[in-house]
Copies of this chain bind each other. A is one copy, B any other.
Amino acid sequence: MQQRHSPFDIGRIAGLSPAQERERGEAGSPCGACSVRHLTFCAPLGEEEFDHVTRIVQNVELHPGDPLFDEGEEATHLYSVTAGAVKVYKLLPDGRRQIIGFLFAGDFLGLAADESYAYSAEAVTHASLCRFPRRKLEALLERFPRMERRLLGMASHELAVAQEQMLLLGRKTAREKIASFLLTLGQRSAYRGQAANPVSVPMSRNDIGDYLGLTTETVSRTFTQLRQSGLIALLPAGRVELLEIDALRSIAEGS
């Protein structure tokens, strides 16, 4: 239990050593040069496993707003984000939208509970992803149980994140939601080795609203209110400075 990682413990698997410097891997494809491997699904793979993965992976480049796949579509591929930001969402027939998550370098998507995707995915910024044909990846899982263990760990982690988000959606106020959102974005940036304090907030107010169960206007007003209270500063290029992290933390946890 020291050397071996628990399959129920993605935190320890993935959190070993958030690196300092990285640029997104070049569009080409060679996994050998992957600069974000330590963050991804591929991190714990051995030589042989990694070799096999390298052979089935494809590269995908998206521009802001480009769709990756739609809810209900046949789930033919799984993806790992290597650069940029992607959003994943579900729609109601009348157009109401719930964003299920924002994904950054190292995040995995496409795990489907049945044959089709349960959500749609679309680029927020310019984004690069590795694409794994599902059939071929399954064949590898068959051969390399360690990969299955890794996926189980990632799924358990996703589940914990989803549960935390349910708490936010069901029980937090707008102010608490925004504070939680900014802190979480910061933590995730730090985990990837990027600046955690002036946090980069690449998504629109509308996207933030659809993620937190609020409207654009309420998101905007709440940002303004936090700014006026001296807790944050709104910088150019969608960056937000967290001026009073402790205060934000106590707001996020419910005053």
Contact = CB atoms under 8 A, between A and B. Distances in A.
Contacts of A112: 8-9, 156, 160
A67 interface: no
Interface residues of A, number: 61
Contact of A6 (B100, B138, B254): B138
A26 interface: no
Most B C-beta atoms less than 10 A away, residue of A11, A155, A157: A155
A163 B142 CA distance: 27
B7 A141 contact: yes
Contact of A254 (B4, B96, B151, B159): B96
A169 interface: yes
Interface stretch (A50-58, A87-95, A181-189, A193-201): A87-95
Interface in A1-57: 1, 4, 6-12
A92 B138 CA distance: 40
A8 B253 contact: no
Binding site secondary structure of chain A = helix
Contacts of A119: 163
A72 to B, nearest CB: 13
Contacts of A142: 4
Nearest 5 pairs of A and B residues by beta carbon: A170-B213, A113-B160, A169-B169, A162-B162, A11-B114
Interface of A: 1, 4, 6-12, 75, 78, 90, 92-94, 96-98, 100, 111-115, 118-119, 134-135, 138, 141-142, 145, 148-149, 151-153, 155-167, 169-172, 210-213, 253-255
